[in-house]
Amino acid sequence: MDTSWEYPVCNFCHSKKNKTIWTDIITCEHKEKFRLVRCLKCGLIYLNPRPKVNEIKRYYQIESYWGLNLADKKSKKINRKLRERNFGNIYHHILDFHKSGSILDIGCGTGEFLSKFQEIGWETLGIDISKHSAEFAQRNYGVKVVVGNLLNINLNNKRFDVITLNSSLEHLYEPNETLSKIRKLLRKDGLLVIILPNFNSLGRLIFAKHWLGLHPPKHLYQFTLKTLSKMLRKNRFQIINKSHWYFRHNYYSLFESFRYRFSPRFFAKTKEEYKQLQTISEFDLVKELGKIFAVIFAFTFSFIGSSIGMGETLTIYAKKT
């Protein structure tokens, strides 16, 4: 019996009753097949079984993080234009709410998002489970990052004006308890920002178990606006704004989902089978046409999904009630 896996109950309502959505989710990264379930009581969607907390780090590779090698000790300059393109809309909403102050980013990764606030004089702090990410953030951006899980970190009763969970809530083992602690850390007039994959997206409906947003086992939970709203209300937060317009994630999710579903590189069962496909004279032409179609598809459906409230990404702005 494999003791590195566990069968959790629902994190929101603690019910043991669930219904299987898919049992055979596969990825190009891992050999395992994954199972996704929906709680029959509250509707929360989660991975079951899942790796135990002390096993999850082996699924995170330091050699590739959004195209970065975290093990590379060479300093990286901030590409401010790219940073604004990636996060500009979120920066705008936060700075409209607070012109200055303190910000905590949970699951901060390389610290690129926080680097903007560091530059304009905010007090910044990041939290991440990866020591390599923490070292990268400090070395390249001067951003302080505490390594660990928020629930186990003592911040000495510190309070923040803004707390962000930028593509991180879905990674956490205890999202409900995390939101409870965030409430204690957020000032009375503070702002909570959550960005995560939208399970009710157009891409998920099109690609089903091949949708990139599933990303098991890194993504332990899948949220809809309904289930996230329930969890926020339980922890006494009120949503003040929501958006599906996050082009970086929307486009990337659709483009990669298309590749995972149709590219021979991913649906070939073995490396040998893929090599055989490469010998076919039409292979290169089909590959290039596939890339062009994937770009057109991702652009088009990013716009459509966001316009009808079914974008690949859900961004929530909330305050304490």
Per the listing, tokens 């505490």 go with 146
Residue 287 has pLDDT above 90, yes or no: no
Yes or no: say if 315 and 90 are a contact pair by the CB < 8 Å rule. yes
Tell me the two tokens of residue 40: 């029959």
Yes or no: say if 219 and 213 are a contact pair by the CB < 8 Å rule. yes
Residue ranges of domains in the chain: 80-198+225-246+313-320, 253-299
H helix count then E strand count, the chain = 10, 13
Domain 80-198+225-246+313-320 architecture: 3-Layer(aba) Sandwich (3.40)
Q: What is the pLDDT of residue 77?
A: 79
Closest Cα partner for 169 from 146, 153, 192? 192
> What percent of the chain clears pLDDT 90, i.e. is strictly above it?
74
> Could you give the CA distance from residue 205 to residue 201 in angstroms, rounded to a whole number?
7
Closest Cα partner for 104 from 208, 219, 176, 182? 182
Q: What is the pLDDT of residue 320?
A: 97
Residue 290 has pLDDT above 90, yes or no: no
- DSSP per-residue string spanning 22-91: EEEE--SS-S--EEEEEETTT--EEESSEE-TTTGGGG--TT-BTTB-TT--S-----HHHHHHHHHHHH
Q: What is the pLDDT of residue 148?
A: 94
- Give the tens place of pLDDT for each residue, 106-115: 999 999 999 9
- Measured from the Cβ of residue 93, the count of other Cβ atoms closer than 10 Å reads 16
> Could you give the CA distance from residue 262 to residue 248 in angstroms, rounded to a whole number?
21
- DSSP per-residue string spanning 275-301: HHHHTSTTHHHHHHHHHHHHHHHHHHH
- Give the tens place of pLDDT for each residue, 173-218: 999 999 999 999 999 999 999 999 999 999 999 999 999 999 999 9
Provide mean pLDDT across the span 93-105: 97
Determine phi and psi for 177, rounding to 5 degrees. -70, -30
Q: What is the pLDDT of residue 262?
A: 84
